[in-house]
């Protein structure tokens, strides 16, 4: 059975109930050992929706790049970033919640309602609803997943040029074999998350300060 893909039923439902624009929010980068966590908030224009929007994980990098540009051209978009230092201070869950909060705050106009991918919304004043698997069900969340992932991937490719050897251009900071081997041989960089176990071990092995 073919998956039908995300649609606008959530946006229509909550837009009608709350009488205003509905934003979809998603993040990229909860699991990697290095780099920031990036969230995006997207309010789609029903009259101008790029064709092919889907869960970012179901798309190639080339399609994500094209769709990200098209989404930015015809939708309201806000991006929120939490740094490695904030991840180590807050933990990755709360850093993700903060990145989502910043993404919604970055929108030109406060939405009447917010749809969040996952099972929990940030502690904020917005009327909102968490949608488990929302990036595969809800079109604005899917759009947010594309914008968040493309932006974060671009950051990691840029960081790979500054810190070669870890394979970030391909693994985007996730714990791939080449990345973990480089951690053991080269040691951690300032862009590694000290609070994550493999990085904490590398800090210990290289006699570097651990995360507070």
Which residue in 24, 18, 47 sits closest to 107, CA to CA?
Answer: 24
Same domain (yes/no): 28, 112: yes
Number of domains forming the structure of the chain? 2
> What are the pLDDT digits (tens) for 114-159?
999 999 999 999 999 999 999 999 999 999 999 999 999 999 999 9
For the chain, the straight-line distance linking the first and the last C-alpha, in angstroms and rounded, comes to 49
Same domain (yes/no): 33, 66: yes
Q: What's the half-sphere exposure (Cβ side, CA atoms, 13 Å) at 109? A: 11
Kindly report the CA angle at 170 between 149 and 138, in degrees rounded to 5?
A: 20
Residue 156 and residue 172 in contact, taking contact as beta carbons nearer than 8 Å: yes
> What are the pLDDT digits (tens) for 50-78?
999 999 999 999 999 999 999 999 999 99
Note whether residue 212 is domain-resident.
no
Note whether residue 57 is domain-resident.
yes
Residue 136 and residue 3 in contact, taking contact as beta carbons nearer than 8 Å: yes
Same domain (yes/no): 49, 152: yes
Please name the helix (run of DSSP H) or strand (run of DSSP E) that holds residue 93, with its range, or none: helix 92-105
> What are the pLDDT digits (tens) for 149-173?
999 999 999 999 999 999 999 999 9
- Which CATH number characterizes residue 100's domain? 3.30.420.10
Look up residue 24 and give its two tokens: 């979809």
Same domain (yes/no): 157, 195: no
Note whether residue 199 is domain-resident.
yes
Position 206 scores a pLDDT of 80
Same domain (yes/no): 136, 170: no
- Answer whether residue 200 shows pLDDT above 80: yes
Same domain (yes/no): 104, 140: yes
Same domain (yes/no): 173, 80: no
Average pLDDT, the chain: 95
Name the residue range of residue 183's domain.
163-205
**CB burial of residue 119 (10 Å; 0-12, 13-18, 19+):** exposed
């Amino acid at each position: 059975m073919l998956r039908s893909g995300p649609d606008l039923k959530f946006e229509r439902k909550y837009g009608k109930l709350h009488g205003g624009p509905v934003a979809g929010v998603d993040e990229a980068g909860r699991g990697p050992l290095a780099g920031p966590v990036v969230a995006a908030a997207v309010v789609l224009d029903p009259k101008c929706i790029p064709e092919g929007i889907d869960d970012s994980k179901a798309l190639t990098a080339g399609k994500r790049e094209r769709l990200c540009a098209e989404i930015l051209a015809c939708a309201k978009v806000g991006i929120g970033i939490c740094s490695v230092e904030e991840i180590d201070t807050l933990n990755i869950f709360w850093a993700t919640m903060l990145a989502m909060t910043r993404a919604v705050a970055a929108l030109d106009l406060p939405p009447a309602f917010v749809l969040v991918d996952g099972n929990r919304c940030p502690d904020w004043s917005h009327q909102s609803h968490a949608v488990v698997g929302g990036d595969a069900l809800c079109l604005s969340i899917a759009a947010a997943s594309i914008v968040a992932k493309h932006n974060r991937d671009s950051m990691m490719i840029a960081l790979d040029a500054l810190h070669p050897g870890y394979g970030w251009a391909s693994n985007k900071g996730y714990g791939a074999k080449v990345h973990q081997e480089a951690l053991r041989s080269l040691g951690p960089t300032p862009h590694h998350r000290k609070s994550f176990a493999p990085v904490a071990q590398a800090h210990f092995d290289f006699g570097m300060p651990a995360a507070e």
